[in-house]
Amino acid sequence: MRIATWNIKQIAPRKPLSERRQWMVDNFAPDVAILTEADLAVGRTWTDWNVVGQTTAIGKGQNYATYIVSPKHKLEQITEVKTKRKNYTLDTWYPGVLKAADLFDGSERWGTIVGMYGVTRDLNMKNCGHGFYSTMMLAKDIEAIVTTGRDRIVVAGDLNMLPNNFSDIFTDLGLIDVIDATSAWREPLPNCTECDLGDECGHLWTHKNGSIDKNGSPQQLDYIFISDDLADDLTDVTGGIQSFPDAWQYSDHAPVVADFDSE
C-alpha cells in the first residue's frame, strides 16, 4: 500500500490541475493520497477516483480544501466517532482542513487515513505564520479517532511546522513520524531549517521558500505519522526534492511517500 501526502498549491498554481494529477500518477502513483491546499475542482471533477473532501471554500479568500483521494480503493468518510464520553464530530475547529476516512483493500478495511492542513492561524484566528496552534487543535480530532480503538492509522499533511516545533503533539497520541523513524536510510539534509540533529538528520526538503529562481533554505513542512501497529509493515519512505527534483515545477511543495507491506 502506497500512501502519499502532497500540497498541490491551489493558490497561484504552477501547472493546471490535470497536469499536477498526471505528474503524481507518473512519479509516485499512490494507492491513496492526502492533498492539502487542493483545488476545489478535485471534489467536483475527479469522478473517476474515490474522493473524500468538500467542494466549497474553507473561508473567504481561501478557495482550497483537504482531500483524501484514491484511484482504485474504496474510501468511507468518517465525520463522527464515538468516544467513551460522547459522540465527537470531526473537523469543526476550522472546517475543511481535516478529513478522515476508512480505507478498504478489496472488501477488507485496511486502516484509517487522516489528512490535515496546519492553517497559519492562532487560537484567535489571527494569521501567525505557522501551523503550531492549528495542529494542536486538530490533534484533538486525531486523539478522538485513536481512542476509538481503530488500528492501522495514518495521519499526514502539510503542517506548516518545522521539525523542532512539534513538541510531543503526535508522540503523546502513540504515533510515529515515519521520516524521523527512517532517517538512517537517507543522507543528512545539509542546513536543514529548525533541526538540531546534525549528521543524524534524515529530513526531506518538502517546501520551496525562495524566489522563483532560487530554492531558499531547506525546509520540511510535510509529514506522515503512523500508529505503532503499522511500524513493522513500513518498507520505504521517500520524498522531498531528494526524490522528486522537478516537484517545484508543479507546486511549492514536494510529496512525501510511504510504502507498506499490504499483507
pLDDT tens sequence across 75-103: 999 999 998 778 999 999 999 999 999 99
- Across residues 197-203, what is the average pLDDT? 92
Contacts of 197 (CB under 8 A, 6+ apart): 163, 183, 188, 203
**Residue 42: is its pLDDT beyond 70?**
yes
Q: Please tell me the pTM assigned to this model.
A: 0.95
Run of H or E residues at 116: strand 108-117
**Residue 59: is its pLDDT beyond 80?**
no
Contact 179, 203 (CB under 8 A): yes
Contact 113, 74 (CB under 8 A): no
pLDDT at 56: 82
Count of domains forming the chain: 1
Comparison of pLDDT for 12 and 196, the residue scoring more: 196
pLDDT at 263: 61
As a whole number of angstroms, the distance between CA 234 and CA 188 comes to 20
pLDDT at 70: 98
Nearest to 6 by CA among 199, 185, 252: 252
What domain range is 74 assigned to?
Answer: 2-260
As a whole number of angstroms, the distance between CA 94 and CA 96 comes to 6
- Residue 86 C-alpha from the chain's centroid: 27
Percent of the chain with pLDDT over 70: 98
pLDDT single digits (tens) 112-146: 999 999 999 999 999 999 999 999 999 999 999 99
CA dist 190 to 13, 178, 195, 202, 220, Å?
28, 20, 10, 10, 12
pLDDT at 153: 98
* Average per-residue pLDDT for the chain: 94
- Across residues 186-198, what is the average pLDDT? 92
Q: Is 193 helix (H, G, I), strand (E, B) or coil?
A: coil
Neighbours of 79 (CB within 10 A): 12
CATH number assigned to the domain comprising residue 58? 3.60.10.10
Q: What is the edge-to-edge ordering of all strands in the sheet holding 98-105? A: 74-77, 98-105, 108-117, 153-158, 222-227, 175-177
Q: How confident is the model at residue 55 (pLDDT cuts 50, 70, 90)?
A: confident
